[in-house]
Amino acid sequence: MSAADGAAQRDETRRGTLYGAAAYGIWGAFPLYFHALKPAGPFEILAHRILWSFLFCAAILLLRRDLAWLRSLLADRRRMGVVTAAGILLAINWVVYVLAVLSGRTYEAALGYFINPLVTVALGVVLLGERLRPLQQAALAVGAIAATYLVVAGGIFPWISITLALSFGLYGLLKKRLGVSMDALHSLTAETVALVPVAVIVLVLVARRGELTFGSAGVPHALALASAGVVTAIPLLLFAAAARRVPLVTIGLLQFATPLLQLLAGVLILREHVSPALWVGFAIVWVALAILATDMVRQSRSARA
């Protein structure tokens, strides 16, 4: 590789790292955004997020004249089934996350995304028959200790954390089945297309219960709800741009920034109370993540060698 090629590669890596940091930074600030959407409830927010994300993606695709892929997707029942299942998992993840924020339990959502890498590794073993390296085994063991401690010491099952970690882990598994045939924009468009009927039904039910806030809570609130499409799509596009430019290990390490920022937002800005027992649980999870991160770095270095 020439000096010019090396400089160009380093520039691309720097840009990719910045794109990734921006994506995870935006995701880390999500608690503040969803908290600002009150008095809207989690299901109304979910419906608006689906509809406005679809409209935003559709507008971009129309401007790019990039619609040919949609015809082939709709004609492929297997792929459409996988996309629909992925969309349902994404909707579950979204509504539980918003519920956690609106109920003052952002820290439980952060815990869910902290344990998500451990759940992803476990799913690879259980569903894909992957073999674990020693450090991965150690990380899972420590993660299991953390989960047991949280149930015993906390006295309740951390269903928010578990649901978020499982739904996003299974979502990633389905995305892996789709392979590289769909980029981030195509994927989000297809998933929201599958969920549009659900969003419409949800809005109708919310309206019948007299709980619809769009249009009745002021123009700024309506605009904030309508911005859900941009807020959802932009970090995904930034992440896709980062993934093309930086090593997988860099993406893997950057992902830990999101739950950390979410935890800080919940505790420092939204003034949520985290019990001492839960802090201990977080500490145990962080030990597991440190072991997993060490394995990721070692594996990356070994692959380069």
Q: What is the pLDDT of residues 35-64, one digit of tens each?
A: 999 999 999 999 999 999 999 999 999 999
- Closest Cα to residue 111, out of 124, 95, 97, 92? 97
The per-residue pLDDT for 1 is: 56
Rounded-to-integer distance, Cα 177 and Cα 13, Å: 27
Measured in degrees and rounded to the nearest 5, phi and psi for residue 245 equal -115, -20
- How would you class 115 by CB atoms within 10 Å of its CB: exposed for 0-12, middle for 13-18, buried for 19 or more? buried
Q: Which two tokens stand for residue 147?
A: 């989960």
- How would you class 175 by CB atoms within 10 Å of its CB: exposed for 0-12, middle for 13-18, buried for 19 or more? middle
CB 113 within 8 A of CB 287: no
Q: What is the pLDDT of residues 210-257, one digit of tens each?
A: 999 998 888 999 999 999 989 998 998 888 788 777 776 677 778 888
Cα angle at 56 between 185 and 225, to 5 degrees? 125
Q: DSSP letter string over 52-68? A: HHHHHHHHHHHHHT--H
pTM for the model stands at: 0.88
Q: Which two tokens stand for residue 87?
A: 């969309």
Rounded-to-integer distance, Cα 33 and Cα 30, Å: 5
Q: What is the pLDDT of residues 2-47, one digit of tens each?
A: 666 666 677 787 888 888 899 999 999 999 999 999 999 999 999 9
Q: At what angle do helices 77-102 and 68-75 cross, to 10 degrees?
A: 100
Peptide bond before residue 39 is cis, with ω within 30 degrees of 0: yes
The per-residue pLDDT for 251 is: 75
Q: Which two tokens stand for residue 134?
A: 């020693």
